[in-house]
Amino acid sequence: MTDDVVFMVPGKEPFGKAEFAATSEGMKNVRIEGRSEIKELKLLGNWAYLRNHLKITVTPPNGSRCGAQAIR
C-alpha cells in the first residue's frame, strides 16, 4: 500500500494509511473475510483509481458473526 492511498467509506471523511493502521491495531483478534468485485479501474498516466464492491463478514472474538456490504 503506497503512502498516498486514500480510503473512502460510507459515513466517514476520506482517510489515509496511518488512520487505517491505527484502526486495524484495535481489531487484532477479529476475523475478517471478504470478497472484492472490481467495478471500474482507470489508469491515466501516473494517476489511477479503482471503484469496487466489497462483501465483508466480520467475526469478533466472541464468535458472533455479522455481515456488512459496502455501498457501490
pLDDT digits (tens, 9 = 90+) for 16-37: 999 998 888 888 888 889 999 9
pTM of the model: 0.47
Tell me how far CA of residue 67 lies from CA of 10, 14, 33, in angstroms.
Answer: 15, 22, 10
Full domain range(s) for residue 42: 29-69
**In the chain, how many domains are there?**
1
Considering the domain boundaries, does residue 17 fall inside one?
no
Considering the domain boundaries, does residue 19 fall inside one?
no
Considering the domain boundaries, does residue 4 fall inside one?
no
Considering the domain boundaries, does residue 35 fall inside one?
yes
71, pLDDT greater than 80: no
Considering the domain boundaries, does residue 47 fall inside one?
yes
71 or 52: which carries more pLDDT confidence? 52
